[in-house]
Amino acid sequence: MVYIRQEKLPALKEYKYSGVDHSLVSRYIMKPFYTNFVINCFPMWMAPNAITLTGFGFVVLNLFTLLWYNPTLDQDCPPWVYASWSIGLFLYQTFDAVDGSQARRTHQSGPLGELFDHGVDAVNTTLEVLIFCAALCLGQSWQSVAVLFASLLTFYVQTWDEYHTHTLTLGIVSGPVEGILTLVFVYALTAYLGGGSFWQREMLETIGISKPAFLPQALYNYTFTNWFMFYGGIMLVFNTVTSALNVQEARRARGQRARKALLGLVPFFGQWVLTVLYLALNPLILHHHLVPFIFFIGIVNAYSVGQMIVAHLTKSRFPYYNVLSLPLVFAVIDSFGPLLQNWIGIGWPSALGPDVYQISFVHSCLGLAIGVYGSFVIDVIYTICDYLDIWCLKIKHPYVEGSEAKKAQ
The DSSP secondary structure of 20-82, one letter per residue, reads EE--HHIIIIIHHHHHHTGGGGS-TTS-HHHHHHHHHHHHHHHHHHHHHH-TTS-S---HHHH
CA distance 310 to 57: 24
**Angle at which helices 111-135 and 180-193 cross, to 10°:** 30
On whether the CB atoms of residues 334 and 350 are closer than 8 A, the answer is yes
If phi > 0 it is left, if psi is from -120 to 50 it is alpha, else beta; for residue 216 that is beta
In a domain, 1, yes or no: no
Output the pLDDT for position 408. Answer: 46
CA distance 390 to 382: 10
Output the pLDDT for position 212. Answer: 83
> Residue 376 sits in which domain range?
6-408
On whether the CB atoms of residues 175 and 326 are closer than 8 A, the answer is no
CA distance 223 to 141: 15
Q: Write out the chain's pLDDT in tens, 409 residues.
A: 678 988 999 999 988 888 888 888 888 899 999 988 999 999 999 999 999 999 999 999 999 999 999 999 999 999 999 999 999 999 999 999 998 889 989 988 889 999 999 999 999 999 999 999 999 999 999 999 999 999 999 999 999 999 999 888 877 877 788 889 999 999 999 999 989 999 999 998 888 888 888 888 888 888 999 988 888 888 888 888 888 888 988 888 888 887 888 999 999 999 999 999 999 999 999 999 999 999 999 999 999 999 999 999 999 999 999 999 999 999 999 999 888 888 887 888 889 988 899 999 999 999 999 999 999 999 999 999 999 999 999 998 887 766 554 554 4
Among residues 146, 138, 129, the alpha carbon closest in space to that of 183 is found at 129
In a domain, 300, yes or no: yes
Among residues 224, 185, 183, the alpha carbon closest in space to that of 203 is found at 224
CA 77 to each of CA 73, 137, 181: distance values in angstroms, whole numbers, following the listed order: 10, 10, 21
Measured over the CA atoms of residue 151, residue 267, residue 3 and residue 366, the dihedral's sign is: positive
Which residues are registered as beta bridge partners of 170? 21
In a domain, 349, yes or no: yes
- How many other C-beta atoms can be found within 10 angstroms of the C-beta atom of residue 359? 18
In a domain, 308, yes or no: yes
Domain count along the chain:
1
CA distance 328 to 274: 6
In a domain, 27, yes or no: yes
In a domain, 95, yes or no: yes
In a domain, 380, yes or no: yes
Output the pLDDT for position 404. Answer: 54
